[in-house]
Amino acid sequence: MKKILFVCVENAGRSQMAEAFAKKYGADNVSVSSAGNKPADKVTPIVVEVMKEKGIDISTNKPMEITAKMAMDADLIVTMGCSAQGICPGPFFKPTVDWALEDPKGKSIDKVREIRDEIERRVKELIAKQTTS
pLDDT at 35: 94
Question: Quick one: DSSP state of residue 4?
Answer: E
Kindly list the domain boundaries of the chain, sorted by start residue. 2-132
pLDDT digits (tens, 9 = 90+) for 43-101: 999 999 999 999 999 999 999 999 989 988 999 999 987 655 555 555 555 678 889 89
CA distance 96 to 57: 27
Query: Which CATH number, 3.40.50.720, 3.30.505.50, 2.130.10.10, 3.40.50.2300, labels domain 2-132?
Result: 3.40.50.2300
Distance of CA 128 to the CA centre of its chain: 17
pTM of the full structure? 0.91
Cα torsion through 25, 28, 30, 35, rounded to 10: 70
Residues 6+ apart with CB under 8 A from 68: 92
Strand ranges (E), 20-108: 30-35, 76-79, 96-98
What rounded mean pLDDT belongs to the chain? 89
pLDDT at position 8 over 70: yes
Classify each residue of 73-94 as buried b or exposed e, where b means 16 or more C-beta atoms within 10 Å of its C-beta: ebebbbbbbbeeeeebbbebee
Residue of 69, 81, 75 whose CA lies nearest to 10:
81
